[in-house]
Amino acid sequence: MSGRFLLAGHSHVMALGVQNSAPDEPIAAFPIDITGGRVLGLAGPSPRSQAYWDAVVQQAEDTTVLLVWNGNQHLSKFLFATEKPFDFYVAGYPELAIYPVDLIPETQVRDYLARGNGGLKPLLNRLANVPGCEAIVLGTPPPKGNDALVRTFVSREMHFVQIARKMGVSVETIPFTDRLIRWKLWLVIQDLLKETAEAQGCRFLPVPETVMDSEGFLKEELWREDATHANLEYGRVFWDSTLSKVGAS
């Protein structure tokens, strides 16, 4: 295992101490303060470009690369209730409640959500060919369970406002997909990340249970004030648990 550690990935890296940079700023690695400088974070413009992922590979020699890949599909696609409510069984979680609505196969859910991981496998393959590089895929934050509070954030986010507008409804009144369904979708996303990582010979590290409330949702004190992301306190809790697991303590 390398003594150099680099965090890179999509928007959930912000909670772990990496801020997006302006489009005219160079893609560069900086020490992450909340890790005591033990981990570098690769900052770049959002949305991520191919140049960003190329920079990950260029920085990866003799480095443990910690990757955060997507993780918002359960909200960007399913925060608002579909016209026909649905539910599904999750393999490995037979105790989860099932609602009296249309049941769809878990394989259908997995196939749909897996589209968000399309670029992860090629990136892991590239990193596997870099001398001294170990890639580790990190889990992403669980969904937020307080729908009333989430709705106050949604009304400020143009992405969701535009979706509601296209549906001919207001974000103040549009029904949300039941929070248990959103949590199940998140479980599937984590499982897909784990499968992709392990299929390429990489480790997957799930988020620590200490970021979750008693029902498995993100603790409210760890919320960023938006519909999808965690805050820097989440990052502190995450790194407290994770630094030793990746060898950076």
Give 66 or 175, the one with higher predicted confidence: 66
pLDDT in tens, 45-99: 999 999 999 999 999 999 999 999 999 888 888 999 888 899 999 988 888 989 9
**pLDDT score at 86:** 94
Residue with tokens 């870099």: 130
Q: Where are the domains of the chain?
A: 5-246
Task: Identify the CA nearest to 101 among candidates 90, 116, 88.
Answer: 88
Q: What is the CA radius of gyration of the chain?
A: 18
pLDDT in tens, 183-236: 999 999 999 999 999 999 999 999 999 999 999 999 999 999 999 999 999 999
Encoding tokens for residue 197?
């990582």
Q: Are 5 and 39 in contact (CB under 8 A)?
A: yes
Give the global pTM.
Answer: 0.94
Compute the distance between CA of residue 222 and CA of residue 229 in angstroms, rounded to an integer.
9
Compute the distance between CA of residue 26 and CA of residue 52 in angstroms, rounded to an integer.
10
pLDDT in tens, 146-167: 999 999 998 888 888 888 888 8
- For residue 1, is pLDDT > 60? no
Compute the distance between CA of residue 182 and CA of residue 23 in angstroms, rounded to an integer.
33
- For residue 125, is pLDDT > 80? yes
Half-sphere exposure of 163 (CA within 13 A, CB side): 19
Q: Are 85 and 101 in contact (CB under 8 A)?
A: yes
Q: How far is CA 189 from the centre of its chain?
A: 9
CA distances from 248 to 38, 80, 122, 130 (A): 6, 40, 26, 20
pLDDT in tens, 181-192: 999 999 999 999
Judging by DSSP bridges, how do beta strands 40-43 and 5-9 pair with one another?
parallel
What average pLDDT does range 4-11 have in this prediction?
97
**pLDDT score at 81:** 87
- For residue 110, is pLDDT > 60? yes
What counts of helices (H) and strands (E) characterise the chain? 8, 8
Architecture of domain 5-246: 3-Layer(aba) Sandwich (3.40)
